[in-house]
Amino acid sequence: MKKVGIVANTAKEKAGDYTQRLRTWCLERGLEVYLDKGIAEAIGAGPGYDRKQLAAMVDIIAVFGGDGTMLRTARAVREFNVPIVGINLGAFGYLTEVNLNEMIDAFEIFRQQGFLTEKRMMLDVTVESEGTVVKKRTVLNDAVINRGNLSRIVEMETEVDGKYLNTFKADGLIVSTPTGSTAYSLSAGGPIVFPQHDSIIINPICPHTLTNRPVILPGEAAIRVIIWSKEQGATVTLDGQVFHTLKSGDVMTIRRSHYVTMLVASPHRDYLEILRSKLGWGGLPAGLNRAV
């Protein structure tokens, strides 16, 4: 690790202070530091770089923020396979594994011992309207069809690998990666899927038929969804950040992307501990020896 990039959500309190602290620490140890445009301007450290430029220049990117900042960064740098480490400035955050009080210790470990990365699958999402592609994006978490301001449920005719699965009559439909299984899909009653798995989750939102349950598909599955609605106003949301209004008859296709996101694993805790902490599950029973 010789070149460090820093991205920060400047809307977060003290993002600039912590960026300065990590930057100074790196420079004092002979590491090169490159800043994202937003945080560079916020702390008066020059013009900075856009995230694609940053990804092409560095060995690792530190992201100060929450999961939203991580998702934006992952999409922006997906072509470069650069490892990303999330430093949590938010309250929750499954993707920001390093806490602020561990930041310097974690980077000392990365500098001296290296770091482990986890490969997270991404999805390519395409929306077609009347035979024309109107939206194409790659996501790390999910693609969500939602009835939006419609008074009625929408019907979503769903195929997997060209074979009919079901027409979901529901408030919406979530198509998620394992990484996204702890996001909106979890709130809608979906399963928690370990992020190393190669799979895709289909999860209806408030289905009209209660036997419609979440389905876990192989990672190579190709999903096609046709939206049918008597009203206008349904939407698709990509990673909770990119929106597009849908019309009846629009077609959405989702498949595994050849891009992946490389997340740096916390040197202080494993995924199970992160899961327990974020979900507020109980700790180890009293008297249980961790070493056993």
Q: Which residues are catalytic?
A: 67
Give the DSSP per-residue string, 170-234.
Answer: ESEEEEE-SGGGGTHHHHTTPPP--TTS-EEEEEEES-SSTT---EEEETT--EEEEEE-SSS--
Q: Is 160 helix (H, G, I), strand (E, B) or coil?
A: strand
Residues 6+ positions from 173 with CB-CB distance below 8 Å: 144, 145, 156, 158, 202, 203, 204, 205, 225
Question: Sign of torsion, CA 169 140 117 271?
Answer: negative
> What is d(CA 273, CA 266) in angstroms, rounded to the nearest whole number?
11
Bridge-based pairing of strands 235-238 and 223-228 is unpaired
Residue 160, amino acid: V
Residue 125 to residue 122: CA distance in whole angstroms: 10
Residue 32, helix vs strand vs coil? strand
Q: What one-letter code names the amino acid at 275?
A: L
